[in-house]
Structure 1
Amino acid sequence: MASLFQTYLQLGFFHIFNLRAYDHLVFLLALCAPYVLADWRRLLALVTSFTLGHSLTLALATLQIVSFSSGLVEKLIPITILLTCAVNLARAGRTESRLARVSRPEPAVLALPNLLALVFGLIHGLGFSSYLRELLGQQSRPVLELLAFNVGVELGQLLIVSLILLLGLLLLRGFGVQRRDWLLVVSGAAMGIALVLLVG
């Protein structure tokens, strides 16, 4: 049983921590772009909301409680990236000092971004489930495999978020890149990739 758990944990980890999952990687990049290392609490709340969403739909779809069109999900994922980038670009219109206060938001400001992350997580969870169902074949109640895969995805996701924050720290502190410029470049690049995915 431990071996089975480890196998699916590794599959989940390398499913997200993999260039072939670039649509999910680009979403995480866009999600993290407005934040720096000092904002880790704010970002943790966002990532937790995203995790709750995709954990729910990953479980429901893998256990065949809900069904969906994989083609529709493939179109919705880039839309989540585009909407995240649109929010980022609106933030980039603020002055640098106002942007820096993102680490100390008012409680009312927390609700909408976290709600969006939760909804976007629901969509991404459906995308994860397609891959997991292919691995599982005809198993009807793969609870252990589902749990292990989900933990693996989360570990991979946390590593990706950590790397993005460290890259941002290096560029902002080490090379003197302005926070607004980092946000504009990252969001613009993510938006471009999302548009290619959407029309492709």
Structure 2
Amino acid sequence: MSDFVFYFKMGWEHIIARDALDHQLFILALACVYTAMDIKQVLILVTAFTIGHSLTLALSVLDIIRFPGKWVEFFIPCTIFITALNNIFQINAPGKSARINYYLALCFGLIHGMGFANAIRIMLAKDQSIGIGLFGFNVGLEAGQIFVVAIILVIGLLFLNVLKVKRRDWIFFLSAGVFALSLKMALERFPL
């Protein structure tokens, strides 16, 4: 049980930590097209990301696939700005953007899973309970994502329902900000 708790905490911090801005921006880009009324769809979206993330993480930990860390670190912000750009292009059809985001979450989760693979591979290699470790990490990751999504939806509820910000403006504002930050990250991480 202590292994599960250790890896759960690691998965949670992978999303919640201050240095997890890339994951938080990705979740923001995915979730900003939804409202609090769409909670079921958002949970499916978060789970799609976790499935992609978990699959690649498991394949990496088991040493079935491996990619150069520099390229993975570059591609992670690329997935974020592509998602934000999709939101902007679909600004007048947030329902269409939301449907596309399911596929983006799953596919881009594969790339994000490789980002943490090296660190967790080393930890799990020393540990005999790879299954418990991966399970605990992924449950912590999912819980962290749900927490971040809940914050986004509550803030969205405040802006959309109380402050009466138009949904289109809300999506554009968040997506443009995420796009700018993630583009900056990608340029800083470009492998030379």
| 1:188 aligned residue | 176
| 2:156 aligned residue | 168
Residue 160 of structure 1 aligns to a residue whose secondary structure is: helix
5 Å-filtered alignment, 1:34-45, equals 34-45=33-44
Q: 1:131 to 1:161 in 2, by over 3 A?
A: farther
Unaligned runs of 5+ in 1: none
Paired residues of 1:88 and 1:183 also in contact (CA < 8 A):
yes
5 Å-filtered alignment, 1:86-101, equals 86-92=85-91, 94=92, 99=94
User: Which sits farther off after the overlay, 28-37 or 5-14?
Assistant: 5-14
Q: CA–CA distance in 1 between the matches of 2:2 and 2:46?
A: 28
Q: TM-score of the superposition, structure 2-length normalised?
A: 0.89
Paired residues of 1:46 and 1:117 also in contact (CA < 8 A):
yes
| 1:60 aligned residue | 59
In structure 2, which of residues 114, 117, 124 is the aligned counterpart of residue 126 of structure 1?
114
Residue 142 of structure 2 aligns to a residue whose secondary structure is: helix
Q: CA RMSD in A?
A: 1.9
Q: CA–CA distance in 2 between the matches of 1:164 and 1:44?
A: 13
| 1:17 aligned residue | 16
Q: TM-score of the superposition, structure 1-length normalised?
A: 0.86
Q: CA–CA distance in 2 between the matches of 1:42 and 1:161?
A: 12
| 2:7 aligned residue | 8
Q: What is the percent sequence identity of the aligned residues?
A: 40
- Between the two proteins, the alignment pairs up a number of residues equal to 187
Q: CA–CA distance in 2 between the matches of 1:182 and 1:51?
A: 26
Paired residues of 2:83 and 2:101 also in contact (CA < 8 A):
no
Paired residues of 1:63 and 1:141 also in contact (CA < 8 A):
no
User: Which sits farther off after the overlay, 3-12 or 137-146?
Assistant: 137-146
Kindly state the Cα deviation for residue 87 of structure 1 after the two structures are TM-superposed: 1.1
| 1:33 aligned residue | 32
Q: CA–CA distance in 2 between the matches of 1:192 and 1:74?
A: 17
Q: CA–CA distance in 1 between the matches of 2:3 and 2:101?
A: 36
| 1:82 aligned residue | 81
Q: CA–CA distance in 2 between the matches of 1:119 and 1:86?
A: 16
For residue 178 of structure 1, what is the amino acid of its counterpart?
K
Residue 20 of structure 1 aligns to a residue whose secondary structure is: coil
